[in-house]
Amino acid sequence: MAKVEMYSMYMCPFCIRAKALLEGKGVDVVDIPATGSEKRAEMNKRSGRNTFPQVFINGKHVGGSDELAALERSGKLDQLLAA
């Protein structure tokens, strides 16, 4: 199974939705709380974005909650997770 990392914020509804989608597929998500400026800067450097969550599958940035849901609808998320 793929390595999945997710930068998140506490009680962020988009983060909760993304994590639920991934965990529903049996994925063990490496949750990276980005409450501090250091982790937020790391997330921005890796993704080029400031919004939450930001999801990486096998080190590749796939976007946030909306992009993750779009991958699921298109059937591409399972392919990424199987790699």
Q: pLDDT value at position 35?
A: 87
Strand order in the sheet with 60-63: 29-33, 4-8, 54-57, 60-63
- The tally of domains found in the chain comes to 1
- pLDDT beneath 70: ranges in the chain: none
Does residue 18 fall inside a structural domain? Answer: no
Q: pLDDT value at position 65?
A: 97
CA distance 37 to 53: 15
Q: pLDDT value at position 39?
A: 95
Q: pLDDT value at position 83?
A: 81
Output the pTM of the full model: 0.94
Q: pLDDT value at position 68?
A: 98
- Vertex 39: Cα angle to 35 and 41 (nearest 5): 110
Does residue 66 fall inside a structural domain? Answer: yes
Query: Residue 67: exposed, middle, or buried by beta-carbon count in 10 A (0-12, 13-18, 19+)?
Result: middle
Residue 60's domain is classified under what CATH number?
A: 3.40.30.10
Q: pLDDT value at position 1?
A: 81
